[in-house]
């Protein structure tokens, strides 16, 4: 089975009013956004920061770091006399995720409003929109041209474009690119909040994360927490692919049951072999996920993570073959600047491809198991961690499938193994 890019369907979650998604086939303009309540007067920065902290808003870029903590750290640098900078990171490196591109293409003013509020809290006078998608860049450029001088005040907002790539969206890669260097990660420390763009304290935040700020600003923390779970409040954007169905971008309340998602998506639970979670980063989960809920704490208990919210459902696809394709992607897309990652992804890709093709040995498998442990945490960014997550989850979650491949006895792959250069890739064009 070959994977190809497919147009996207956008859908609301039953009985949950969308906060981020809107039914639109064109970019929302400034007049429409303002008429709907956008670009409200900013008010007191400390009060807004307090509401963000109370909301429990977690980052949507993959790490789920509390936004309030980021804002506070950079605001403290501002209060200490330093210039500060905010970067809205829209370089969506995960091919199976389209949420950021959709927001930038269709609701650029929502993202810009979130960026405006973040600059207000942090005291930043410079801000950047960092994107790789041409259509997203065009939508943002058009939105910036619509802004009246009073909206951002004395804050300068620049659009920075970059060639797309898995590592280009890593926060230090974004900083390097804005500073005029290559879009490749750098060693940490220092982290951007300590020394970022132009050497100044910089808050880098995913565009979906920032897009939640106008809702909190208008409705307050308590209302924001009216859906979701205590530890994972609010809604999130989930790109759902696989299962023989067209891809859909859902806005889902945290804590929703996976079984409800499958029913809404039109996939029978008995057909599911597992799910590739969090794009390519968080790894595979077997049928245990059928009894889970979609929130950070529930997926951590399964040894996985929600990550960027991308969920690829495996029905007809073999988990070993999917792993081989993902690992080959990591091998091609790593930054090529850390030996452990450059060599480690290549080695793991070779073993998983051999396993898919029924020619791997017990010794190969033992090496893969060891690499999945000893390579974790190496390198300047999370690429190698993603590769080890996928390898470790395959071995842990699907031992019987792995054993069948060792014996060259996988009937699924014999009838046509899954191959994809960019597994479960989906285009961000909404069907209307």
Quick: pLDDT tens for 68-87.
Answer: 999 999 999 999 999 999 99
* Residue 430, both tokens: 């909404």
Average pLDDT over residues 219-242: 98
**pLDDT above 80 (res 3):** no
pTM score, whole prediction: 0.95
| pLDDT score of 394 | 98
Contacts of 43 by beta carbon, 8 Å cutoff, 6+ apart: 217
Rounded Cα–Cα distance for residues 327 and 342 (Å): 12
Average pLDDT over residues 351-368: 98
Average pLDDT over residues 106-121: 98
For the chain, counts of helices (H) and of strands (E): 19, 12
Distance from the Cα of residue 89 to its chain's centroid:
11
Rounded Cα–Cα distance for residues 140 and 122 (Å): 22
Average pLDDT over residues 386-410: 97
| pLDDT score of 25 | 74
Average pLDDT over residues 177-205: 96
**pLDDT above 70 (res 4):** no
Average pLDDT over residues 398-403: 98
Positive or negative torsion for Cα 90, 21, 248, 277: positive
**pLDDT above 80 (res 50):** yes
Rounded Cα–Cα distance for residues 40 and 220 (Å): 13
Mean pLDDT of the chain: 95
Confidence of residue 429 (pLDDT cuts 50, 70, 90): low
* Residue 247, both tokens: 């891809």
Domains of the chain: 19-224 (3.40.50.11540), 319-414 (1.20.1440.230)
* Residue 25, both tokens: 């086939």
**pLDDT above 80 (res 431):** no
Average pLDDT over residues 142-146: 98
| pLDDT score of 427 | 78
Q: Are 102 and 92 in contact (CB under 8 A)?
A: no
| pLDDT score of 249 | 97
Average pLDDT over residues 54-66: 95
Q: Are 278 and 62 in contact (CB under 8 A)?
A: yes
Average pLDDT over residues 356-374: 97
- At residue 72, the 3 state secondary structure works out as helix
């Amino acid at each position: 089975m070959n994977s190809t890019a497919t147009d996207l369907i956008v859908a609301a979650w039953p009985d949950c009013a969308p906060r981020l998604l809107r039914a639109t086939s064109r970019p929302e303009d400034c007049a429409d956004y303002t008429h709907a309540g956008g670009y409200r007067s900013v008010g007191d920065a400390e009060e807004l920061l307090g509401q963000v902290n109370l909301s429990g808003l977690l980052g949507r870029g993959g790490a789920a770091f509390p936004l309030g903590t980021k804002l506070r750290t950079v605001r403290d640098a501002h209060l200490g006399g330093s210039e500060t900078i905010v970067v809205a990171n829209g370089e969506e490196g995960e091919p199976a995720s389209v949420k950021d591109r959709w927001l930038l293409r269709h609701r650029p003013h929502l993202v810009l409003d979130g960026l405006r509020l973040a600059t207000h809290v942090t005291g930043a006078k410079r801000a950047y929109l960092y994107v790789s998608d041409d259509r997203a860049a065009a939508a943002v450029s058009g939105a910036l041209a619509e802004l009246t001088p009073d909206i951002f005040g004395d804050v300068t907002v620049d659009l920075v474009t970059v060639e797309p790539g898995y590592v280009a969206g890593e926060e230090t890669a974004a900083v390097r690119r804005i500073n005029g260097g290559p879009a490749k990660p750098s060693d940490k420390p220092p982290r951007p909040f300590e020394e970022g763009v132009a050497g100044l304290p910089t808050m880098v935040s995913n565009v979906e994360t920032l897009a939640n700020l106008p809702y909190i600003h208008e409705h307050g923390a308590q209302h924001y927490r009216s859906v979701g779970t205590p530890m994972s409040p609010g809604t999130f954007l989930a790109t759902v692919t696989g299962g023989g169905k067209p891809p859909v971008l859902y806005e889902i309340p945290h804590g929703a049951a996976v079984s409800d998602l499958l029913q809404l998506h039109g996939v029978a639970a008995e057909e599911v072999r597992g799910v590739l979670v969090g794009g390519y980063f968080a790894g595979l989960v077997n049928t245990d996920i059928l009894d889970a809920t979609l929130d950070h704490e529930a997926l951590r208990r399964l040894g996985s993570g929600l990550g960027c919210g991308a969920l690829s459902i495996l029905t007809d696809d073999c988990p070993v073959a999917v792993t081989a394709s993902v690992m080959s992607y990591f091998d091609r897309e790593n930054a090529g600047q850390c030996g452990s990652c450059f060599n480690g992804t290549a080695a793991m890709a070779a073993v998983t491809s051999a396993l898919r093709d029924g020619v791997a040995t017990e010794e190969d498998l033992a090496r893969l198991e060891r690499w999945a442990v000893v390579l974790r945490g190496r390198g300047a960014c999370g690429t190698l961690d993603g590769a080890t997550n996928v390898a470790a989850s395959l071995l842990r979650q699907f031992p019987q499938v792995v054993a069948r491949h060792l014996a060259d006895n996988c009937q699924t792959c014999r009838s046509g193994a899954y191959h994809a250069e960019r597994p479960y890739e989906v285009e961000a064009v909404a069907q209307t």
